[in-house]
Amino acid sequence: MKRLILPGLLVLLVVFHINSQSNNPNYKISYDQRIKELLSKMTLEEKIGQFNQLSNPYHKTGPGIKSERNESFDEMVANGQIGSFLNVLGVDETMRLQKIAIEKSRLGIPLIFGYDVIHGFKTIFPIPLGESASFDRAVMEKSARIAAIEAAANGLHWTFAPMVDISRDPRWGRIMEGAGEDVYLGEQAAKARVHGFQGDDLSWDNTIAACAKHFAAYGASFGGRDYAAVDMSERMLREVYLRPYKAAVDAGVATFMSSFNTINGVPASGNRWLQTDILRGEWGFDGFVVSDWNSLGEMIYHGNVESEYDVGFRGVDAGIDMDMEGRIYINQVKQLLIDNKITISQIDEMAGRILLIKFRLGLFDNPYQYCNKQKEKELTMHSNHLSASRDGAKRSIVLLKNKNKILPITGKVKRIAVIGPLSNDKDAPLGNWRGNATPNSAVSLLEGIRNIAGNKYEILYSEGCRLLNNKENSFASPVLINNNDRSGFKKAVAAANKADIVVMALGETAYMSGECRSYADISLKGLQLELLREIKKTGKPVVLTIFSGRPLVLTDAVDHADAILNCWLLGSESGNAIADVLFGDYNPSGKLPASFPYHVGQIPVFYEQLSSGRPYDPKPDSLTSKYRDIPNAPLYAFGYGLSYTTFKFTDLKLSAEKISMKDKLTINVNIKNTGEYPGEEVVQLYIRDVVGNGVSRPVLQLRGFEKIMLAIGESKEVTFTITPADLAFFRLDETWGPEKGKFQVFIGNSSDNLPLKGEFELME
Ligand code: NOJ
């Protein structure tokens, strides 16, 4: 298992599909007959072997399990005791193990190799939260497509992505992996990403199986602490948290992963209602469900079962087909069958579901089709992939502030000071869950600025202060270093004094977000705010670029910056993409996929609030729903993001005042670029269901967005279509569907800027 080698062959030209269309995806084919025949030949042990997924012990993505010692993986594969590996990658090693499975195991059932390809394999794209800020379905699909191409070229068949957990709590470190706080954006991102990874045909050698995770509601853990419990009403679960998973099923996702958390007291990995009744019964999912890393075994720590034997029963009963790294099924399932706790038909169904995905991936027809050294060499970090990464990155940047239009930087500026602990950091932009990225391989902000502006401007650089030891790996705790060391301040201030404009890079390093990276304080850490204040005192205009895996609380920083670009963790081409925006080669168009809190005490913070019996009124003598010490509103709202130009929204037209349950409503609106730069705008459509017939309804719900490009002075009409299904909710009688009544329609460019308003009525 040590040979995890990358290849060395030289190669020529590359042909690959970025976008493809077909209406008959093979991921819907059933393969019933072939599975039946195979199952009839398999021993009980071989079936149980399919349930067993083990990690490369030299590349773990979770805590160690005691019983892993003394295992010989080669032998176990030859004996049909392993169905899948995770964290084994590279053509050489996957090919070697696959050969054992095919040539030495009795029935030659191929292995499936899975890996966390979350935002790129070697070419790294913006973290998913950041990329969701693009509000651009094509951007999201393309990065997943390229990630799949690179992963497949490196022997992988399966990614543990997309993560579709909605989160309204930026303290939770894993908010970086999803699409943010919103249902509709979450659904759109889920669909785009599933299709990106899987293409139209899973059997192609450049598509991989996707995995919607973590089922369910992992993003709603108490206090934003990873692995903590989730407790919520069925209404909230169905109307908000479950919807992106459902969208992934509708998009044909091949697999699901259960989550670590309990939900209403029952661990998700032992939860039959979720994993079987809803996922398979209500939604018709026909792929397989993998547990999260020993999430079956962790049921013992949840205290709802006593022994591994009971865990095995709960897992099978719930509908978890594959046991990731837990070694529960391999040790317990046989005895459970002997004891008649579970049935052979349950075991056959589980094995059948895993085999189905192996069939759909084409592994039975050609188990080595993902093992091609030439492709591995040709496709990994292909220059087209890097340019797509830069393109996606610039589209993900959100302009939060631009006082006196100091951006874009123009020819009047001669000297630029680049200051801050993240400004020459080549690692932070790669983010957590960075696939197989080479550490320190991103273009830093300083490099990006030099690449674009090197000859035109004089560039001064000063780190100012240090933040974290970047060499920490993702599962070690990040250690704050030099936290009191202000020795770099003097040089930084001197650089600012010499410059015409200062560009600062502050925020978080790569491993301050991601799994097990929850923080209670999500403002700028260490000496960063102090450094910012000192620089601002020079009187020079300050552009603040924020690097982070989550919405930070920037309230104390805002007044010390003239312009702010939220740059997330943008991937391999980070510095170049930011420079594109700084110098106006690209006009920023990103919008926030999650609210930026004014204060950590507002969390959970999101726009889709239910109406209150005492709606907010800031007057001190009003007894309404509010904080006494801070505003209710976040610092920056969901959907917010500025441009170098301005847009005007006019002429809202609804196709009818009343529609029936069988009709569609068409909504037209005109948008004009009224400013001085060409630019893109995200036209956002929100709905309010005025009366919910016994159920309170949210004050606003995003139900459509379109991103459009407009030249200076240009106008375009955008059309949205709403059907009664878009108005459906979990009604008082606990059924799903729309209710007749009045609806309001709002159009604008942010959840807190909706200048156009209309109304219609839904009739029986
Ligand atoms: C645990 C994480 O929760 C999950 O997202 C990931 O896919 C697995 N480990 C495998 O690395």
Point out which residues pair with 462 in neighbouring strands: 419
Q: At what angle do helices 489-498 and 528-536 cross, to 10 degrees?
A: 30
For residue 481, what pLDDT is reported? 54
For residue 67, what pLDDT is reported? 65
User: For residue 87, which atom of ligand 1 is closest to its CA?
Assistant: 11
Ligand 1 centroid distance, CA of 382 (Å): 27
For residue 155, what pLDDT is reported? 97
Nearest alpha-carbon partner for 160 in 8, 25, 55: 55
At residue 238, does pLDDT exceed 60?
Answer: yes
For residue 69, what pLDDT is reported? 66
Residue nearest to atom 4 of ligand 1 (CA): 292
For residue 522, what pLDDT is reported? 96
Ligand 1 centroid distance, CA of 515 (Å): 8
In angstroms, the CA 209 to CA 253 distance is 7
Peptide bond into 162 cis (omega under 30): yes
Give the Cβ contact number of residue 539 at 10 Å: 9
Structure tokens at 451: 């690449």
Architecture of the 45-377 domain: Alpha-Beta Barrel (3.20)
Could you tell me if residue 514 is left (phi over 0), alpha (psi between -120 and 50 degrees) or otherwise beta? left
DSSP string, 686-741: EEEES--TTS--BS-EEEEEEEEEE-TT-EEEEEEEE-GGGG-EE-TTS-EE---E
For residue 60, what pLDDT is reported? 87
| Nearest 10 degrees: Cα torsion 599, 604, 610, 611 | -20
More confident residue, 67 or 253: 253
At residue 432, does pLDDT exceed 60?
Answer: yes
- Give Rg (Cα) of the chain: 26
At residue 574, does pLDDT exceed 70?
Answer: yes
Instruction: Work out the average pLDDT over 388-417.
Output: 97
All residues at 6 or more sequence positions from 362 whose CB lies less than 8 Å from its CB, including other chains:
202, 203, 204, 205, 369
Instruction: Work out the average pLDDT over 684-700.
Output: 96
User: For residue 163, which atom of ligand 1 is closest to its CA?
Assistant: 5
Could you tell me the pLDDT band of residue 482, with boundaries at 50, 70 and 90?
low
- Residue pair 110/365 in contact by the 8 Å Cβ criterion: no
Could you tell me the pLDDT band of residue 617, with boundaries at 50, 70 and 90?
very high
- What string of H, E and C letters represents the secondary structure of 283-298? CCCCCEEECCCCCCCC
Residue nearest to atom 11 of ligand 1 (CA): 61
Ligand 1 centroid distance, CA of 58 (Å): 16
All residues at 6 or more sequence positions from 250 whose CB lies less than 8 Å from its CB, including other chains:
191
In angstroms, the CA 201 to CA 205 distance is 9
Ligand 1 centroid distance, CA of 561 (Å): 38
Nearest alpha-carbon partner for 380 in 7, 632, 685, 49: 7
Counting beta carbons within 10 angstroms of the beta carbon of residue 181, is it exposed (0 to 12), middle (13 to 18) or buried (19 or more)? buried
CATH, domain 647-762, list 3.40.50.300, 3.20.20.70, 2.60.40.10, 2.40.240.20? 2.60.40.10
Mutation to probe ligand 1, out of 324, 433, 513 (largest number of atoms < 8 A from CB): 324
What are 48-96's pLDDT values in tens digits? 999 999 999 888 899 887 666 678 999 999 999 999 999 999 999 999 9
**Residue ranges per domain, the chain?**
1-36, 45-377, 397-602, 647-762
Q: What percent of the chain has pLDDT over 70?
A: 94
Place of tokens 């200062």: 502
Ligand 1 centroid distance, CA of 292 (Å): 6
For 374-402, b/e burial (b = at least 16 CB within 10 A) is ebbbbbbbbeebbebbbbbbbbbbbbbbb
All residues at 6 or more sequence positions from 303 whose CB lies less than 8 Å from its CB, including other chains:
none
Ligand 1 centroid distance, CA of 6 (Å): 23
For residue 13, what pLDDT is reported? 32
What is the sign, positive or negative, of the torsion defined by CA atoms of 89, 93, 94, 100? negative
Instruction: Work out the average pLDDT over 649-662.
Output: 98
Peptide bond into 217 cis (omega under 30): no
Q: How far is CA 227 from CA 179, 223, 295, in A?
A: 19, 11, 10
At residue 365, does pLDDT exceed 50?
Answer: yes
Place of tokens 């948008």: 671
Could you tell me the pLDDT band of residue 471, with boundaries at 50, 70 and 90?
very low
- Ligand 1 surroundings by CB, under 6 angstroms: 61-62, 86, 116, 160, 213, 292-293, 515
The model's pTM is 0.95
User: For residue 325, which atom of ligand 1 is closest to its CA?
Assistant: 10
State yes or no: is 521 an active-site residue. Answer: no
Beta-strand (E) ranges in 116-204?
158-159
What are 443-464's pLDDT values in tens digits? 999 999 999 987 899 999 999 9
Mutation to probe ligand 1, out of 257, 258, 296, 323 (largest number of atoms < 8 A from CB): 257
Nearest alpha-carbon partner for 690 in 650, 651, 736, 727: 727
What are 726-758's pLDDT values in tens digits? 999 999 999 999 999 999 999 999 999 999 999
Pick the catalytic residue: 182, 292, 310, 323?
292
Structure tokens at 11: 């190669």
What is the sign, positive or negative, of the torsion defined by CA atoms of 267, 268, 274, 275? negative
Residue nearest to atom 3 of ligand 1 (CA): 292
For residue 29, what pLDDT is reported? 75
In angstroms, the CA 53 to CA 114 distance is 9
The CATH classification number of 397-602 equals: 3.40.50.1700
Residue nearest to atom 7 of ligand 1 (CA): 160
Residue nearest to atom 1 of ligand 1 (CA): 293
Structure tokens at 322: 């594959």
Ligand 1 centroid distance, CA of 626 (Å): 38
Mutation to probe ligand 1, out of 56, 65, 116, 177 (largest number of atoms < 8 A from CB): 116
- Residue pair 123/150 in contact by the 8 Å Cβ criterion: yes
In angstroms, the CA 641 to CA 130 distance is 13
Q: What percent of the chain has pLDDT over 90?
A: 90
What are 174-203's pLDDT values in tens digits? 999 999 999 999 999 999 999 999 999 999
Counting beta carbons within 10 angstroms of the beta carbon of residue 95, is it exposed (0 to 12), middle (13 to 18) or buried (19 or more)? middle
- Residue pair 159/210 in contact by the 8 Å Cβ criterion: yes
Give the Cβ contact number of residue 440 at 10 Å: 13
For 137-170, b/e burial (b = at least 16 CB within 10 A) is bebbbbbbbbbbbbbbbbbbbbbbbbbbbbbbbb
Q: At what angle do helices 308-318 and 344-360 cross, to 10 degrees?
A: 60
> What average pLDDT does the chain have?
94
Structure tokens at 280: 């398979």
User: For residue 218, which atom of ligand 1 is closest to its CA?
Assistant: 3
Residue 646 phi/psi, 5° resolution? -125, 160
At residue 219, does pLDDT exceed 70?
Answer: yes
What are 485-537's pLDDT values in tens digits? 999 999 999 999 999 999 999 999 999 999 999 999 999 999 999 999 999 99
H helices present in 454-567, as ranges? 489-498, 528-536, 555-558
